[in-house]
Amino acid sequence: MSIEVTNITKVYKDQKALNDISFKVNDAEIVGFLGPNGAGKSTMMKILTTYIEASEGSAKVNGFNVSSDKKNVQSSVGYLPEHNPLYTDLYVKEYLNFNANVYGTSKSRINEVIELTGLTPEAHKKISQLSKGYRQRVGLANALLHNPDVLILDEPTTGLDPNQLVDIRNLIKNIGKEKTVFLSTH
């Protein structure tokens, strides 16, 4: 089981964002997490990636508990946050190189993820010069750098034009042949 959520509740001060949620995602599945704005999708993803703690309940990612085994969860998970925060003044390779240094991944992996995400024709550009679709590819490439088993993608296709939407969906389908993908959308 790649993701196992058991009776998760999250309360921010007086705002209940998640109310007793349970679900499972099997290995190498692509699963959509659907709900309108404010439904709690990002909150759940932040819990699964160890950014925040649940108020009640428990969750496991790749068999590791998100509150007691954070390091192993973090090595198992590639995360594309909502609004894809990028350093737009950096060149694509420079950005991936910076993050590869942070993660301690090999330099050869940078070219692999560039190829895997179809970034090759744009890889020499500054991130600020890229279209939204290519910026999403940079976010995906970044999430794949440490070769995680599970990808957690928060609204990866929101704001894309119809062509880019199809391209990114196909890319995610391709990645999902080998990895578990958990993605949100409204």
Binding-residue total with Mg ion (CB under 5 A): 3
> Whose Cβ is closer to Mg ion: residue 42's or residue 157's?
42
Which residue number, 55 or 97, has a Cβ lying nearer to ligand ADP?
55
Tell the residue number behind the tokens 């109310």, with chain if given.
19
**Considering beta carbons, is residue 21 or 141 the nearer one to ligand ADP?**
21
Find the shortest distance in angstroms from Cβ 36 to ligand ADP: 7
CB 185 within 8 A of CB 32: yes
Q: What sign has the CA pseudo-torsion 60, 62, 139, 181?
A: negative
Give the pair of three-digit tokens for residue 183: 């993605």
Q: Does residue 35 bind ligand ADP (CB under 6 A)?
A: yes
Pick from 21, 25, 40, 110 the residue near ligand ADP by CB under 6 A: 40
Should residue 42 be labelled a site residue for ligand ADP when binding is judged by CB under 6 A? yes
* Residue 41 binds to ligand ADP (criterion: CB under 6 A): yes
Stretch that binds ligand ADP, among 38-46, 67-75, 116-124, 142-150 (CB under 6 A): 38-46
- The residue nearest Mg ion at its CB is 42
Q: Which is nearer to ligand ADP, 36 or 104 (CB)?
A: 36
Distance CA 54, CA 46 (A): 9
When CB distances are held under 5 to 8 angstroms depending on the partner's kind, the choice from ligand ADP, Mg ion, none that residue 17 binds is ligand ADP
Q: Is residue 63 a contact point for ligand ADP (CB under 6 A)? A: no
Q: Residue 159 binds which one of Mg ion, ligand ADP, none, with CB within 5 to 8 A depending on kind? A: none
Chain contacts with ligand ADP (rule: CB under 6 A): 12, 15, 17, 35, 37-43
